[in-house]
Structure 1
Amino acid sequence: MIEIDPQHLADRYMAQWTVPDAAGRRAAIERLWAEDGTHILQPPAEIREIAAELGFDHTTLEAQGYDAIETRVARSYERFVEKKGFTFRARADAVRLHGLVKFGWEAVSAETDDVVGGGLEILVLDHDGRIKADYMFPGA
């Protein structure tokens, strides 16, 4: 596997969520992700609770491939950056263990710089250092 600075990767990963234009967002995704990469999200507690009430034992949300990941990132941008005025940043805690990179992240008010949320990210890298799988745990 190629040498990768885990903090640099974490910073680039978080930056993709704040790219305002579609072409730039797609380019960022293609630089970061394997073509068949999968983004796997543990939904927030309220979604998991509703799903459990409906009889779902396991609740995960997945987006696979460039197009699906681009849609996921674009919707997140629209909801959190455009509408709520947040930005996202990696915490300075990224570590790599073989083909895994783990780091925390923060959702931050662009206006006040107050931290309004965050989570944990675990990235599984392919042999080229691109993201093969991304496990996102908001609120962790």
Structure 2
Amino acid sequence: MNDLVTSYLSTWNEQDVDARAKMLADHWADNASYTDPLAEAAGRDAISATIGAVHEQFPGFVFTPVGDADGHHRQTRFQWGLGPEGAEPVVVGFDVVVTNDQGRIETVLGFLDRVPPTS
């Protein structure tokens, strides 16, 4: 379970497009999908583009786990933070990751628990 969260957050932290594509190929299913309140992406290329957009919106920020992961069957839920490295997260979210029979990430359902105020 912790390996899944680590590889998931590492993918989100990867800024190099080619390195991120390799991580997606290694850990995510061909038909992977990602949905949160702000984005919906189907396929590795679209997920990579979504991750790239987050890096553009929050340059220099990193994703870190918040608390412990919990899971059963092929589902894992965990909370994460996004903020400057070593600082209190500016954004906090909660994701449910579902893997396929090969252990690759197939579906991600994301929720935002705390977001910065908009001006």
Task: Please say if 1:36 is aligned against 2:14.
Answer: no
Task: Please say if 1:132 is aligned against 2:106.
Answer: yes
The secondary structure found in structure 2 opposite 1:128 is coil
Task: Please say if 1:22 is aligned against 2:52.
Answer: no
- Give how far 1:42 is off: 2.0
- Give how far 1:38 is off: 0.5
Alignment map for 1:61-72 (pairs within 5 Å): 61-72=39-50
- C-alpha contact 1:33 1:132 (8 A) present in aligned 2: yes
Task: Please say if 1:103 is aligned against 2:81.
Answer: no
Structure-1 residue corresponding to 2:68: 93
Structure-2 residue corresponding to 1:119: 93
- C-alpha contact 1:100 1:122 (8 A) present in aligned 2: yes
* Identity across the alignment (%): 26
Who wins on radius of gyration, i.e. which is larger? Answer: 1
CA distance in 1 between counterparts of 2:97 and 2:34 reads: 9
- Give how far 1:117 is off: 1.8
Runs of 5+ in structure 2 lacking a partner? Answer: 115-119
Runs of 5+ in structure 1 lacking a partner? Answer: 1-5, 44-60
Residue identity opposite 2:72 in structure 1: L
Calculate the aligned-residue CA RMSD, in Å. 1.5
The secondary structure found in structure 2 opposite 1:23 is helix
Larger RCO (CA within 8 A; separation ≥ 6): 1
What TM-score, normalized by structure 1, do the two folds share? 0.75
- Pairing partner for 2:56 from 53, 78, 84: 78
Stretch deviating more after TM superposition (62-71 or 86-95): 86-95
- Give how far 1:91 is off: 2.2
- Give how far 1:109 is off: 1.6
